[in-house]
Amino acid sequence: MKNPDRPENQDLTNGHFFHSKDDGSKIFFYDYKPIQNYRSTIYIISGITGINHRAERDIIEQLSNNENRIVVVHPRGSGYSDGKRGDVTDFSLFIKDYVDLIQQDVGYKSTQYPVFLFGHSMSCAILAAIADQLPNIQGAILVNPAYLLKKAKGMSPTFWDYVKYAAYYIFAKHTPIVNMAGNPSLIQNEDDRKEAETRMNDPLLVKYFSLYMMMEAQKMMNSICDYAKKANYPLLLLHGTNDSIVDKKGCDLIFKNWKCSNKRYELITNGSHGKSTVKLANKVIKNWLESMMEDTKLEEQC
């Protein structure tokens, strides 16, 4: 159960490195500018597995719509960024890297362009924790936020997995042992199965995680409603009706607890847990971003 090492052959086209404040670790981010005078900056937030910006080009181009700048971060310990694969000494560093990078980015520091955050599944909780430390946010898009989960074939641990995990948490909690990739062959939704199979062999993504990392990520997901109660920025929440992993009741609770009154909740017919929900919601996302950019003053939006 070994994760691949940090890739040596790196495609740095439109890519840059940010040095973390705590230990100087190099954190990679991809900067997609479709035009010189873009209208907004959208930061795509990733969960602990990381993200392959090349594999997500379709989503990047959709969100950009040839008018928005898109920034994709490879979190610490994934992709081209430094850090141990599948573990971190202190989970707060995972959040801090994002906060520090965004605060120093030209898109955030400039008052000329509105700033939005985009998250999917587990990364919605990461997004909420990041946004809590960023006062200059004009809105967030949450897609199938993982708060309440269903028992999904190919993704849920077995009883014996839990027994093994308990032993590792006691004796070796920083050893990567939990397979986050699951068993893609058992996933019933065809789109999600194909995505999972592709991700499983992606060297930029992390597959095995320590019990420490998993427990901290779970704490983060459990706290998303607490962050929602403080979220003083607009929300677009999307849930795919065919999502076999995320329970809609959790999305309902997040939306209900969201502090900002400027919030929108859309159920995407036939949307699965993966990319299909985003693609099917293309018009909804475009219209929402357009309405948000009409007035970027946070106090008036909420």
- CATH, domain range 15-150+219-301: 3.40.50.1820
Over residues 89-117, the mean pLDDT reads: 93
Given this model, what pLDDT does residue 157 score? Answer: 67
CA-nearest of 85, 83, 116 to 205 is 85
Structure confidence at residue 152 as a pLDDT band (50, 70, 90): low
Count CB atoms within 10 A of the CB of residue 208: 18
- The rounded percent of the chain whose pLDDT value lies above 90 is 73
Give the model's pLDDT for residue 22: 87
The DSSP secondary structure of the chain, one letter per residue, reads: --PPPPPSS---TTEEEEE-TTT--EEEEEEE-SSSS-SEEEEEP--TT---TTTTHHHHHHHHTTTEEEEEE--TTSTTS-S-TT--S-THHHHHHHHHHHHHSHHHH-SSS-EEEEEETTHHHHHHHHHTT-S---EEEEES--SSB---TTTSPPHHHHHHHHHHHHH-TTS--EETT--GGG--SHHHHHHHHHHHT-TTS--EE-HHHHHHHHHHHHTHHHHHTT--S-EEEEEETT-SSB-HHHHHHHHHH-S-S-EEEEEETT--SSHHHHHHTHHHHHHHHHHHHT---HHHH-
What is the longest distance spanned by two Cα atoms in the chain? 55
Which of 101, 93, 92 is CA-nearest to residue 18?
Answer: 101
pLDDT mean over 168-190: 82
Given pLDDT bands bounded at 50, 70 and 90, which one contains residue 187? confident
pLDDT at position 289: 97
Q: How confident is the model at residue 239 (pLDDT cuts 50, 70, 90)?
A: very high
> 180 CB contacts (<8 Å, ≥6 apart)?
48, 49, 206, 207, 208, 209
The domain ranges of the chain are: 15-150+219-301
Give the Cα separation of 52 and 56 in Å (integer): 6
Q: How far apart are CA 115 and CA 92, in angstroms?
A: 23
Per-residue pLDDT for 154 more than 90? no
Amino acid 155: pLDDT: 56
- What pLDDT does 300 receive? 56
Please tell me the predicted confidence (pLDDT) of residue 214. Answer: 94
pLDDT at 68 over 70: yes
The pLDDT confidence band at residue 9, using thresholds 50, 70 and 90, is confident
pLDDT band at 197 (very low <50, low <70, confident <90, very high): confident
What mean pLDDT do residues 147-158 have?
73
The pLDDT of residue 47 is 93
Q: Stretch 162-176: mean pLDDT, rounded? A: 86
Both structure tokens of 111: 């008052």
Q: Is the pLDDT of residue 192 over 80?
A: no
Q: CA torsion, points 80, 84, 88, 89, in degrees to nearest 10? A: -130
pLDDT interval class at 156 (50, 70, 90):
low
126 pLDDT more than 80: yes
In angstroms, the Cα distances linking 299 to 79, 100, 135, 286 are 37, 24, 11, 22
Check residues 150 and 246 and name the one with the higher pLDDT.
Answer: 246
pLDDT-derived band at 298 (thresholds 50, 70, 90) equals very low
The mean per-residue pLDDT over the stretch 181-203 comes to 77
